[in-house]
Structure 1
Amino acid sequence: MVDEAWLTAGPDAVWEALLGELSGEARWWVPDNTFEPVDGAPDRVGALTRITVHTKGVDKGGKKLRFTARTTAVQQAERLALEYVEGAFRGTAEFTLTRLEDGGTRLVMFFRASPQGQLAFLARLVDVGAMHTRATRAAFGRLNQLLSTGTPAASTAGGAR
């Protein structure tokens, strides 16, 4: 799965916002996902981050899907690679940031993971990939709004597609 956005902010600002979110700031991936560092900063190879997917939104009830990511590669303001090592998903994710001619950033998330346990059964009934894409694109739209105005948008509009 590939989700991408064209953001107005430069790669350094996008990188800092991405690391902040993975460090638990909860500014733009909420209400769908929250992140909690377990061992080390997310831009350190070997660091562990606990991810929770809130299927109905934070504090709205619903099932919570939890999994842990280990940072496997870091290129400052260009690439962050993760491996999902336990929980609801196994596989990898990678964020790439590319500076655009206008000074903005193309942000891409490559998600190559398989559902595990009960989620694997549920994935036969529900399009988990579509849910992931919807949440990621909404988050990227909120990120664009945050970096443009300083305030995350409540809507899913923005530079994501």
Structure 2
Amino acid sequence: MTTTYDLIDEAVIAAPPATVWDALIAEFRGAKKWWVPANTFATRTGSPDAVGGEVEVTVHTKGVDKGGLKLRFTARTTAVDPGRRLDIEYVDGSFRGPASFILQPLPDGRTRLAMHFAARPHGPLTLLAKVADLGAEHSRAALAAFAALDRQLSTEVPA
């Protein structure tokens, strides 16, 4: 039986949706500002905020430059609603399946950022998924990244 994850991780970010969106897209372009040390991203083709754009994702299981297992997979953008929603499909590598980033404006000017991860492990990762709680690790890393994003945006001085 193949493990399939259906996770929703969310946090409230102390910035408006447009600012959160810009930070999200910058990270997927390789900024390495708030998802590090767990994940790094590099644009493969196109742009992450355009349908068909592809991003190479690397999960650093012990942190960037700390050794350990590296999980690599490719995310292809399938739908974009700028400032509100980014839908992707993992099409190659360690995971297959959809994920979405949803930005919801809150009345106080902050943003609820949610990631819906509905993918399944692929290849050798399917064996690891039988003995390790990859879903819990995914949620831990996503929530840590969202907290780092909140810290980053709440300390930035508006232009």
Q: Is the shorter-chain TM-score for this pair beyond 0.5, marking a shared fold?
A: yes
Query: Which amino acid letter does the alignment assign opposite residue 60 of structure 1?
Result: K
Once the two structures are superposed, residues 68-117 of structure 1 have per-residue CA deviations (whole angstroms, 9 ceiling, x without a partner) of 01000000100000000000000011000010000100000000000011
Distance in 1 (alpha carbons) for counterparts of 2:139 and 2:113: 14
The share of aligned pairs that are identical, in percent, is: 56
Q: Which residue of 2 aligns with 1:118?
A: 124
Q: Which residue of 2 aligns with 1:154?
A: none
Q: Which residue of 1 aligns with 2:49?
A: 43
Q: Which residue of 2 aligns with 1:135?
A: 141
Q: How many Å apart are 1:118 and its aligned residue?
A: 1.1
- Find out whether 1:4 has 2:19 as its counterpart: no
Q: Which residue of 2 aligns with 1:106?
A: 112
State the secondary structure of the residue aligned to 1:123: helix
- Find out whether 1:25 has 2:27 as its counterpart: no
State the secondary structure of the residue aligned to 2:124: helix
Q: How many Å apart are 1:150 and its aligned residue?
A: 3.1
Higher relative contact order (CA 8 A, sep 6+): 2
Distance in 1 (alpha carbons) for counterparts of 2:67 and 2:140: 19
Where does the alignment leave 5 or more consecutive residues of structure 1 unmatched? 152-161
Once the two structures are superposed, residues 44-74 of structure 1 have per-residue CA deviations (whole angstroms, 9 ceiling, x without a partner) of 1000100000000000000000000100000
Q: How many Å apart are 1:8 and its aligned residue?
A: 1.0
The 4+ residue runs of structure 1 with deviation greater than 2 A are none
Distance in 2 (alpha carbons) for counterparts of 1:12 and 1:44: 16
Q: Which residue of 1 aligns with 2:154?
A: 148
Distance in 2 (alpha carbons) for counterparts of 1:17 and 1:115: 27
TM-score of the superposition, structure 2-length normalised? 0.94
Q: Which of the residues 66, 75, 81 maps onto 2:81?
A: 75
Q: Which residue of 1 aligns with 2:40?
A: 34
TM-score of the superposition, structure 1-length normalised? 0.92
Report the RMSD for the aligned CA atoms in angstroms: 0.9
Q: Which of the residues 60, 64, 73 maps onto 1:58?
A: 64
Distance in 1 (alpha carbons) for counterparts of 2:102 and 2:9: 11
Q: How many Å apart are 1:40 and its aligned residue?
A: 1.1
Query: Which amino acid letter does the alignment assign opposite residue 78 of structure 1?
Result: R
